[in-house]
Amino acid sequence: MSIVLYGSPSSASLVVHWLLIELGVEHELRMLDFGRHEQKSPDYLAINPQGRVPALVVDGQVLTESAAIVMQLADLHPQAGLAPDVGTSARGDYYRWMLFCAYTLMPAYRNWFYPDEPAGPENVERVRESARGVVERAWQQVSDHLAEHGPYLLGGRRSAADFLLTMLMRWSRNMPRPSDGWPALAAHAARMKALPSFAEVYRREGLVDWT
């Protein structure tokens, strides 16, 4: 099987890179230089017309959207036990939290990090304020959930959704209220950071913060 991950350090490709390492999947990593707008190059746009990372090319099939890629990888490696069986109530919870990350947190982060996209440069402050509110309310909801049903999103069992959540928690590290300020979230992050694959993806991407 040939697997190529297109990414950029510390970006949305991190969760895919991390999971490939956690699952022991051999892959080739192609880091794009955002400073040189390589994600908008004709060659890359031919792979992902959105001009965003990640893109995972598996035997010629292009996969995009980090949550979708993570779910596919977890399903392809059932021995790792990171995705509950289809049709079970745990699978329902898994979809719920995966898509909470994808529908609620991801777009809010997009607005936080690219605040001129929704309504131009003159509305950047209002967009950021709104994005910040969405992210903080999401953290409160996840924190309440983990406090009652944790320590992982699905209870006692770690799933691929916890990897996605951890990446998203990391992205708040320089925001006014980082996720670490919620004790249940900090405890969840500490468990995930203790995985050897976390240290390894940090090493490979040259990351040093939020350890």
Ligand X SMILES: N[C@@H](CCC(=O)N[C@@H](CS)C(=O)NCC(=O)O)C(=O)O
Work out how close the CB of 159 gets to ligand X at its nearest, in angstroms, rounded to a whole number.
Answer: 17
Q: How far apart are CA 97 and CA 169, in angstroms?
A: 14
* Stretch of 52-60, 126-134, 149-157, 175-183 lying at the interface with ligand X (CB under 6 A): 52-60
* Window 102 to 141, contacts with ligand X (CB under 6 A): 106, 110
- Interface of this chain with ligand X, residues 11 to 40, rule: CB under 6 A: 11-12, 39
Least distance in Å: CB of 180 to ligand X? Answer: 20
53 belongs to the binding site for ligand X (CB under 6 A): yes
Distance CA 158, CA 191 (A): 10
Which residue, 117, 140, 141, 131, is CA-closest to 175?
131
Those residues whose C-beta lies under 8 Å from the C-beta of residue 106, and which sit 6 or more positions away, are 12, 66, 67, 168
**Given the rule CB under 6 A, which of 20-28, 63-71, 154-162, 176-184 is the region that contacts ligand X?**
63-71
Q: Which residue is nearest to ligand X (CB)?
A: 52
Q: Cβ of residue 52: shortest distance to ligand X, in angstroms?
A: 3
Which whole-number Å values give the CA distances from 78 to 1, 10, 121, 157, 161, in the listed order?
17, 27, 46, 14, 15
> Token digits for 167?
């990446």
Q: Would you count residue 74 as binding ligand X (CB under 6 A)?
A: no
State whether the Cα torsion 88-89-94-100 is positive or negative. positive
| 117 vs 129 by CB, closer to ligand X | 117
| Residues of this chain that bind ligand X (CB under 6 A) | 11-12, 39, 51-54, 65-67, 106, 110
